[in-house]
Structure 1
């Protein structure tokens, strides 16, 4: 009998569809905003908005295609030596990814395989075989959630920063701009929680994050810390466009730190450099355990700088632009930065002190139906640890 936390449930299948719809709507609202700016002859805003969409697509397609190739070449995943995945050759997969359909291909495979397992009841499998099939589904879901994480921090988070900067610096705004911001926030929130839950379910020696309060506290911690940083960066950009240089330096520091840690996530050196650059971007907005090692000291240092940035931005706004000090705009944004900072840090401490599932689950072996370690499993183990 399978434990409930080891099952790819019907609810999980339905939520996968919800994640797909959110992903599509987020991209289309951003494209809509880009076209709006183009009609208004705001070519810089239009170009930057579209650039982030394209960058997110390119990064996710590159990793998705490489992982497909790795799985085809892995003798444990593909013992028959097939040269196709779901009837698609490497050339066919390459064509799909060039046209930005890689994630949709993965969604189709996950939904199709999951439908057969969770909606069509069958007694033809033993308990060990069922455990293996559910574990395979979670591995597929984790690959997809990794790609959504990449897309979230390469496209949605920078997009959110850009649109907030435009909204805060303009006297007028549109519903489409607010929709773009709202769906970017939802997409990031979804990718964070989905990634964490899929990752912990796909690794047999790590306990699943409990639903309810632990999930809510973790989500609040991530959303509040990310939101406060984005608002602080937006204020700094309003004060001076040259703040982009400081943001670039922060990204480079994150990338260099990832390089110093000598990550070995990718099968090729060139893709590893891209991976480190993406992780550097993620670290610009939130903290993750880069190599799955103890990071208590690194996390403390990170959030000291985090608190310093969030304290500095409102102070500089009041100092350099005193005419805005008493405006509703300055007071609202400054209050949000302080409130989100405090709430985010409280949720951070509460989660890791009281709710974090750090005790290991019994390690599965070949008898459990999970088999020896494959490239896909190694990939999951080497990705960012929450």
Structure 2
């Protein structure tokens, strides 16, 4: 049954996703400092590599989507950046996602003052940001979760930063999937809308399902660490080829389309792991 008041929560979801992103960034910095203090230098290097790789990936997508001449900029902060030729510099400084967060905040405040229907907030302001946060969840948070779980298995003590980082990353991943699902439903009028009850159930479903698969992969990585890279590359290559076989047409350039397919392959790795988990259970 459709919940008629579901859209009244959309501005809340529009602002909560960026807030969780900022919290996750703070937890990333805390994890790096804590690992350095524990003299886990290899883990520090691996964590920094994951953070930088994911950040660069997000900036590339953000820059390409802003460079689309057909895109209509609806906020003053975005028009100011474009007008003064600061778009490339902002993304080189890894601030592209924060620019989009400011745009979402501006549109949310404006819609509140002007009493704009919440549907417009969801459809006009959040899709690109939500997709970027979904990419971040599976390109950064998922590998971090595996790293933290392996560290817990190897350490003789249970450190606070590992527990909080695992809980934070899991929550961010589950909420990113939920936000993406809600955002996509906003574009399909005939779909039943998600209210609080269905959103909570969907969030918990993803939270526990992703969590169990991360534990399984972490056990595999802790026992057979030399094979985890081969497992990832072989599965990722097959999924990228599958995305190519589907003839995706999401980006404006061929190079951008292949980058999109490679990123989708990362997302599908977790989906394949979940399917395997359901089948084995």
The CA distance in 2 between the partners of 1:259 and 1:192, in whole Å, is 23
For residue 50 of structure 1, report the CA deviation from its aligned partner.
Answer: 1.3
- Could you say if the C-alpha distance between residues 237 and 302 of structure 1 is closer, same or farther in structure 2, counting changes exceeding 3 Å? closer
The CA distance in 2 between the partners of 1:151 and 1:234, in whole Å, is 19
For residue 281 of structure 1, report the CA deviation from its aligned partner.
Answer: 1.0
| Residue matched to 1:183 | 168
| Residue matched to 1:119 | 113
For residue 148 of structure 1, report the CA deviation from its aligned partner.
Answer: 0.6
For residue 223 of structure 1, report the CA deviation from its aligned partner.
Answer: 2.5
The CA distance in 2 between the partners of 1:162 and 1:280, in whole Å, is 20
- Could you say if the C-alpha distance between residues 135 and 4 of structure 1 is closer, same or farther in structure 2, counting changes exceeding 3 Å? farther
SS in 2 for 1:286: helix
Q: Choose the corresponding residue for 1:243, options 223, 227, 247.
A: 227
| Residue matched to 1:89 | 82
Gaps of 5+ in 2: none
Give per-residue Cα distances to partners, 1:81-125, cap 9 Å, x unaligned.
xxx94222273111111112111111111211221122344xxxx
SS in 2 for 1:89: helix
Give per-residue Cα distances to partners, 1:41-80, cap 9 Å, x unaligned.
322100111111112211111111111111xx11x847xx
| Residue matched to 1:258 | 243
For residue 40 of structure 1, report the CA deviation from its aligned partner.
Answer: 3.1
| Residue matched to 2:150 | 165
For residue 221 of structure 1, report the CA deviation from its aligned partner.
Answer: 3.1
The CA distance in 2 between the partners of 1:6 and 1:29, in whole Å, is 31
Gaps of 5+ in 1: 79-83, 122-129, 288-300, 312-341, 343-386
The CA distance in 2 between the partners of 1:206 and 1:54, in whole Å, is 40
The CA distance in 2 between the partners of 1:172 and 1:218, in whole Å, is 33
For residue 213 of structure 1, report the CA deviation from its aligned partner.
Answer: 3.8
User: TM-score, normalization: structure 1?
Assistant: 0.65
| Residue matched to 2:201 | 217
- Could you say if the C-alpha distance between residues 6 and 33 of structure 1 is closer, same or farther in structure 2, counting changes exceeding 3 Å? closer
The CA distance in 2 between the partners of 1:20 and 1:214, in whole Å, is 22
Judge conservation of contact 2:174–2:204 (CA < 8 Å) in 1. no
2:266 is the counterpart of 1:273: no
SS in 2 for 1:100: coil
For residue 152 of structure 1, report the CA deviation from its aligned partner.
Answer: 0.6
Q: Choose the corresponding residue for 1:104, options 98, 101, 124.
A: 98
For residue 307 of structure 1, report the CA deviation from its aligned partner.
Answer: 4.4
- Could you say if the C-alpha distance between residues 206 and 170 of structure 1 is closer, same or farther in structure 2, counting changes exceeding 3 Å? farther
RMSD (Å), alpha carbons: 2.6
Give per-residue Cα distances to partners, 1:7-51, cap 9 Å, x unaligned.
5x4x43344333222211212212221222223332210011111
The CA distance in 2 between the partners of 1:217 and 1:233, in whole Å, is 24
